Amino acid sequence: MYEKFVSNLRLRRFIVLLLIIFVLFLVKDFMTPILLTFIFTLISVKIVRFVQRYIKAPTFIIATVLYLIELILVYLLISKYSTILIDQVLSTYNSIVRFYQHKDFNSDLVTNFISDYFKNHNWQDKVESGAGIILEQLQNVGRLAIAFVMSFILSFFFMIEKEKTILFSRNFLHSTYKWFFQDVYYYAKVFVETFGVVVEVQLLIAVVNTVVTTIGLGLIGFTQLPTLAIMIFFLSLIPVAGVIFSCVPLTLIAYSTGGVQTVAYVLILIVVVHCIEAYILNPKFMSSRTKLPIFYTFVILLFSEKFLGVWGLIVGIPIFNFFLEILGVKITTAKTKKAKKTEQPD
C-alpha cells in the first residue's frame, strides 16, 4: 500500500498539500515574521541578481552592501522623520493651547460642557476602554516591530550563506523520504514564482504612490519632501493600508504648516491616492502581470482582504494562481488564441 501511495502522484501531492495547510494553520500566529522574512529574502534575491548582471561579485559582498544601505536608509528615516514629527506635534499642541487661551475664546462654556458631560456619562469606563484599546494597539506595534527586526536578520543570514543554504536543503531531495520533500519543493516553487510577481507589482505601486503623493505635497506647500518621500515609499509597500497609515503624520504636519485648510487638502490627496491604488493600480498591475482579468483580480483582492486582512492583499493573488497551477488550469489570452490559429494549417 505504501508503494502504491508513493507511485500515485496526484493523491500523494494532495495529501502533502493538506499537511502543509495544516502546519500553516498551527503556526498562524507566526505568519507575520514568516511572510516578512520571505518578502525580504525574495526582494534581496531579485536585487542581487540584477546587480550581478553588471557587476561580477560574490553574493555575500553584494548582499552585505545591500543590507547596510537599507539600514542607513531606515536610520535616516527614523532620525530625521521622528524629529520632524515631534516638532509638528509640539507645534500643534502649542497652537491648541494658544487657541484656548485666546481672549475671544469662552473658556467657561467649554468647562461647563465638559463638566456636564462627565456628570451624565460613565466616563471612567470609557477612559478604561480607551486606554485598553491604546495599550492593545501599542502591543501590536511592538510585535510588528519585533517581527520586522527578526525577519530582517533572518533574511540577511540567508543571503550571506545563500549557496550553502540551498546546497544543504537539496540534500532532503535525495533522502529516504525524498518523494515528500520533492512535493514540498514543487509547491514551494510554484508559490515563489507567483509571489515574486506580486512583490514586483507592489514595488511598482509603491513607486507610483510615492511620486504622486510627493508631487501633491509639494503643490500643497510641504517642505522636507525627500524625507517624507522615503516614509511614503516604505508605507506604500504595505498594500492599501500604507496610504492610511501615512494619514496621521501628514495631517499633523499639515495642521502646523497651514492650518485646517491644509489638512483638508492633505486628506483629499490621501483619499485620491488610496482610490487610485485600490481601484486602478492594484487590479490593473496585478491583471497585467498575472494574466488575470481585472474582474477576477478585483474580486480576489476583495475576498482575500476580507478573510486574511492586509496580508490577503499580498498573498491573495499568489494563492489563487497557486491553486490554478495545481488544478492544471492554463490561462489563455487573445494573443495566445490568435497565435494558435495562425499555427494551424489551412
What pLDDT score was predicted for residue 50?
Answer: 86
Per this entry, what is the length of the chain?
346
Q: Is 281 helix (H, G, I), strand (E, B) or coil?
A: helix
> Which of the four pLDDT bands, split at 50, 70 and 90, describes residue 46?
confident
Q: Which residue has the higher pLDDT, 344 or 83?
A: 83
In a domain, 116, yes or no: no
Angstrom CA distances, 293 to 83, 196, 288, 337, stand at 45, 19, 8, 16
Q: Is the pLDDT of residue 259 over 60?
A: yes
The cell for 338 is 490568435
* Cα-Cα-Cα-Cα dihedral sign, residues 235, 237, 238, 244: positive
In a domain, 282, yes or no: yes
What pLDDT score was predicted for residue 185?
Answer: 92
Q: Is the pLDDT of residue 19 over 90?
A: yes
In a domain, 121, yes or no: no
Model confidence pLDDT, tens digit, residues 61-77: 989 998 998 888 777 77
Number of domains in the chain: 1
In a domain, 340, yes or no: no
> Which of the four pLDDT bands, split at 50, 70 and 90, describes residue 110?
low
In a domain, 129, yes or no: no
What pLDDT score was predicted for residue 138?
Answer: 62
The cell for 275 is 482610490
In a domain, 155, yes or no: yes
In a domain, 306, yes or no: yes
SS3 letters for 30-96? HHHHHHHHHHHHHHHHHHHHHHHCCCCCCHHHHHHHHHHHHHHHHHHHHHHHHHHHHHHHHHHHHHH
Domain with 228, as residue range(s), is 2-17+25-102+141-330
Model confidence pLDDT, tens digit, residues 161-213: 888 998 999 999 888 889 999 999 999 888 888 787 777 777 888 888 888 88
Poorest-confidence range of 50-59, 124-133, 224-233? 124-133
In a domain, 338, yes or no: no
Q: What is the DSSP string of 179-235?
A: HHHHHHHHHHHHHHHHHHHHHHHHHHHHHHHHHHHHHHHHHHT-S-HHHHHHHHHHH
Query: What pTM value is reported for the model?
Result: 0.68
What pLDDT score was predicted for residue 18?
Answer: 92
Helix 294-308 and helix 282-290: axis angle, to 10°? 110
What pLDDT score was predicted for residue 181?
Answer: 92
* Other residues' Cβ atoms within 10 Å of the Cβ of residue 208: 17
Q: Which residue has the higher pLDDT, 265 or 93?
A: 265
